[in-house]
Structure 1
Amino acid sequence: NTKVYKQTGKLLEKYDVMDLSKRSGGGEYPVQDGFGWTNGVLLALLKE
């Protein structure tokens, strides 16, 4: 998550965990720039 953020400046909804250089895909709709609760959880964990 933080590695991709440093490269793109975005927290994405999902990632290709096998290859972070690839953008994840699939699902019902295009990949979103983050989800509110996942962004909040990451920020809380980074503060710890």
Structure 2
Amino acid sequence: MKVYTARHKLIEKYDVASSHGIGGGGEYPLQDGFGWTNGVLAALLAEDEL
């Protein structure tokens, strides 16, 4: 929640072991969100509003 509250968006990778919470590493720079996971979250949030 700390990262989302600060950035007002989901990011692709999180580091749950550090205080800043932002993940890194991999083949490319950190991305905003991650396609299908953003879609699943949106669907779950929409169901919760029903």
Query: Structure 1 length as normaliser, TM-score?
Result: 0.70
Aligned residues: 46
**Pairwise CA distance, 1:15:** 0.5
Find the structure with the greater CA-based Rg: 2
Residue of structure 2 equivalent to 1:41: 40
| Structure 1 residues without counterparts, runs of 5 or longer | none
Q: Deviations over 1:7-43 (max 9, x none)?
A: 2111101100112514211100111001121111222
Moved more, 38-47 or 22-31: 38-47
Query: Structure 2 length as normaliser, TM-score?
Result: 0.68
Identity, in percent, stands at 63
| Structure 2 residues without counterparts, runs of 5 or longer | none
Moved over 2 A (4+): 43-48
Does structure 1 residue 16 correspond to structure 2 residue 15?
yes
